[in-house]
Amino acid sequence: MVGTLSERILGGPAGSFVDRPVDRAYVHDGTGVLTLEAWRQMGERGPVHPERLSIIFDHIVPANTSVTANLQAELRQFAHTHGIAFSEVGEGIAHQVMSEGRVLPGELVVGADSHTCTLGAFGAFATGVGATDMAAIWTTGMVWLKIPATIAIRISGRLSGAAEAKDAALSYVACLGMDGATYQALEFIGEGVSSLSLSDRLTFSNLAVESGAKAGLFYADETTIHYLRSLGKEAGPQRPEDCTYAQEIGLDLGAIEPMLAIPPRVDTLKPVSALAGTPIQQVFVGTCTNGRYQDLERFARVVKGKKVTVRTLVVPASRAVLAEAARTGVLADLIEAGCTVGVPGCGPCLGAHMGVLGEGEICLSTANRNFTNRMGVGGGIYLCSPRTAAASALTGVITVPEES
Amino acid sequence: MRIRGRAVCLGADVDTDQIIAGRYLRTKDRRVWAEHAFEDLDPTLAPRLSGAIIIAGKNFGCGSSREQAAIALKEAGVVGVVAPFFARIFFRNAINVGLALIECACSCQVGVEVTADLTEGWVQVGGERIAAHPLSSRMREILQAGGLVEYGRLQR
Ligand code: SF4
């Protein structure tokens, strides 16, 4: 079938409603609790395909209170009883764990978390739903979806200077606005895509939902196939076909410079240079946006052999990321530079525990959301790339990163 | 299917962190979510939600997929939400938990009587009637049942 990648995967034209079997479905400790409750109310039928399900603990790990611990124990027990793949605290952020070999091009992936769109980087249709929808998926193995129209982001050029994929991704979100792609999918196409690593693509797809998009897809290419092969998975490439896009936006990577998203909106950007010198109280490197090995490595390259002058939390996105950082010496560089390394998971991103901000404190973060009070009441969040975070961690004020 | 309530007015891009903050998610007690709804946006709002129809700006419910946001509003007694359009996960969640919503760009005056017809597709604020997107029959059936869980029971 010709059409956009979303139309081809979901098997119908934009605007039609379809019921489809789900290839991969997952929840985390945050949304899993409500899903379990809704599943029980639905009559405890199924799960029809437990082998397609994952339960991954990442939001509050390890548990911070006995309430959390008890809720987690219930969900853990459920996973074991039904033979569902279970990732214990410390294994990593759900989207990252899924990206480490559990998702293949062309699959329909549904997660009970808005950043499920991250997995579009593989050429999968990956989208977030709420707990009740997920309980219905557990029960029936199916999901209903409206096939979205697609906005094409045509990428050209290459990143240069100190600019990173995060700066480019924030730029497309700012261009669309926080609601510019609501009810639609994004497709990242064009000759500039081949210069982006898989890690970079995950960052791009991750931010799709910040423009309201339902999914953000890359076509699987050599980079994708090579990455999957390194994880022991085989896949073929996907080639763009003739299709109609609702809109097309150009993104010249060569014109991107280091950017900051100003609180409380992800679509309000300023060049880092415009805010240089602003004092910060915390730097946070991690999350499903920028907690991968490549991000830690970029950060470490800047701080290696120096000392951070502000509290700096580094939270690897997964145990695999942490292990690689340990193997290559990046971890030692981070620790020796004075960074505090946290348990793989979401860490301070959602302000639930650890790394919470105090009144009036500013955090420079590599995450994807800077909403009011997200990391603590009265705190402000500026979003940036790992390299900008590193340059600023050394000085204690917002600092323009240097070219490497 | 018709809903009726008093107008509570909100701006654009109200995200789910503002509807219910992350710090209140670690419980299954729905009252907690209802009590703390909109706390970071306007702490005086929660007690005024009972019997209310929220008229919000565009993109209501953007951000996190937390279903607790829709549950908090329902639990607090919100009758329905009107907005030019909603973030898509919030839209699904609201229907699934039985919280009525309708897409309509209308002006809002605090406290005035609001009526909305989800089948015919209109919203009336004070005396003025504005055309709106009607909900699909499946969505109305889910709402009428009280949510997807109850709807599933009826289907069996
Ligand atoms: S890292 Fe942050 S944005 Fe990503 S899944 Fe965790 S809480 Fe959500």
Q: Which two structure tokens, joined as six digits, stand for B142?
A: 């889910």
Give the distance, in angstroms, between the CA of residue A119 and the centroid of all CA atoms in the same chain: 8
CA B148 to chain A, closest CA, distance in angstroms equals 7
Name which CATH class applies to A259-395.
alpha beta
The pLDDT confidence band at residue A353, using thresholds 50, 70 and 90, is confident
The answer to whether the Cβ–Cβ distance between A350 and B89 falls below 8 Å is no
Q: From A119, A288, A353, A354, give the residue whose CB has the most ligand 1 atoms within 8 Å, as the site to mutate.
A: A288
Eight-state DSSP code of residue A163: -
The answer to whether the Cβ–Cβ distance between B67 and A132 falls below 8 Å is yes
Nearest CA in chain A to B148: A132
Region A118-123: mean pLDDT is 98
> What is the A198 CA–ligand 1 centroid distance (Å)?
19
Ligand 1 atom nearest the C-alpha of A95 is 5
CB-based contact, A383 to chain B, within 8 Å: no
* Calpha distance A339→A295 (Å, rounded): 14
Ligand 1 atom nearest the C-alpha of A349 is 2
pLDDT at residue A97, rounded to an integer = 98
Determine what percent of chain A is predicted with pLDDT higher than 70: 100
Region A31-56: mean pLDDT is 95
* Multiple choice CATH, A18-145, 3.40.1280.10, 1.20.58.220, 3.30.1490.20, 3.30.499.10: 3.30.499.10
Residues of chain A found within 8 Å of residue B153, distances taken between Cβ atoms: 42-43
Q: pLDDT by residue (tens digit) across A204-247?
A: 999 999 999 999 999 999 999 999 999 999 999 999 888 999 99
The answer to whether the Cβ–Cβ distance between B156 and A43 falls below 8 Å is yes
* Calpha distance A292→B6 (Å, rounded): 48
At CB < 8 Å, which residues of chain B contact A? 13, 15, 17-18, 21-23, 25-28, 40-41, 58-59, 62-68, 70, 85, 87-89, 92-93, 96-97, 147-149, 152-153, 156
Return mean pLDDT, chain A. Answer: 96
Determine what percent of chain A is predicted with pLDDT higher than 90: 96
Q: pLDDT by residue (tens digit) across A154-178?
A: 999 999 999 999 999 999 999 999 9
* Calpha distance B55→B50 (Å, rounded): 14
The pLDDT confidence band at residue A61, using thresholds 50, 70 and 90, is very high
Q: pLDDT by residue (tens digit) across A300-350?
A: 999 999 999 999 999 999 999 999 999 999 999 999 999 999 999 999 999
pLDDT at residue B28, rounded to an integer = 87
Q: pLDDT by residue (tens digit) across A259-273?
A: 999 999 999 999 999
pLDDT at residue A241, rounded to an integer = 86
pLDDT at residue A14, rounded to an integer = 96
pLDDT at residue B156, rounded to an integer = 62
pLDDT at residue B27, rounded to an integer = 87
SS3 letters across B106-131:
CCCCCCCEEEEECCCCEEEECCEEEE
The answer to whether the Cβ–Cβ distance between A265 and B58 falls below 8 Å is no
CATH numeric code, A150-255: 3.40.1060.10
CA dihedral (A344, A296, A125, A233) in degrees, to 10, reads -90
Q: Are A358 and A329 in contact (CB under 8 A)?
A: no
Give the residue extent of every domain in chain A.
Answer: 18-145, 150-255, 259-395
> What is the A288 CA–ligand 1 centroid distance (Å)?
6
Nearest CA in chain B to A349: B22
Token pair 């959602």: residue? A350
Residues of chain B found within 8 Å of residue A183, distances taken between Cβ atoms: 85, 88
Decide if pLDDT at A1 tops 80.
Answer: no
The answer to whether the Cβ–Cβ distance between A132 and B58 falls below 8 Å is no
CATH number at residue B122: 3.20.19.10
* Domain residue limits at B10: 2-154
Ligand 1 surroundings by CB, under 6 angstroms = A 58, 93, 113, 115, 287-288, 346, 349-350, 367-368
Output the CA torsion sign for B94, B98, B104, B106.
negative
CA dihedral (B13, B17, B20, B21) in degrees, to 10, reads -150
Q: pLDDT by residue (tens digit) across B30-88?
A: 999 999 999 999 999 999 999 999 999 999 999 999 999 999 999 999 999 999 999 99
Q: Matching CATH topology for A18-145 and A259-395?
A: yes
Nearest CA in chain A to B69: A130
Ligand 1 atom nearest the C-alpha of A113 is 5
Q: Which two structure tokens, joined as six digits, stand for A159?
A: 């990143």
Q: Whose CA is nearest to atom 6 of ligand 1?
A: A346
Q: pLDDT by residue (tens digit) across A357-393?
A: 999 999 999 999 999 899 999 999 999 999 999 999 9
pLDDT at residue A273, rounded to an integer = 97
Ligand 1 atom nearest the C-alpha of A286 is 1
Q: Which of B62, B66, B68 sits opposite A212 (nearest CB)?
A: B62
Q: DSSP letter string over B1-44?
A: -EEEEEEEE--S--BHHHHS-GGG-S---HHHHHHTTTTTT-TT
Q: Which of A68, A183, A374 sits opposite B17 (nearest CB)?
A: A374
* Calpha distance A94→A116 (Å, rounded): 9
Q: Whole-model pTM?
A: 0.95
Decide if pLDDT at A404 tops 90.
Answer: no
> What is the A287 CA–ligand 1 centroid distance (Å)?
6
Q: Which of A33, A132, A182 sits opposite B87 (nearest CB)?
A: A182
Q: How many domains does chain B contain in total? A: 1
Sequence-ordered strand ranges (E) for A69-124: 85-87, 108-111
The answer to whether the Cβ–Cβ distance between A41 and B58 falls below 8 Å is no
The answer to whether the Cβ–Cβ distance between A369 and B148 falls below 8 Å is no
> Looking at beta carbons, which pairs linking A359-363 to residues 24 or more positions away fall under 8 Å?
A361/A281, A361/A282, A362/A278, A362/A279, A362/A280, A362/A281, A362/A282, A363/A280, A363/A281, A363/A282, A363/A283, A363/A284
Of A238-242, A392-396, B147-151, where does the model show the most confidence? Answer: A392-396
* Calpha distance A395→A360 (Å, rounded): 19
> What is the A136 CA–ligand 1 centroid distance (Å)?
23
- DSSP-derived pairing of the beta strands A17-21 and A142-146: antiparallel
SS3 letters across B44-78:
CCHHHCCCEEEECCCCECECCCCCHHHHHHHHCCC
Residues of chain B found within 8 Å of residue A139, distances taken between Cβ atoms: 152
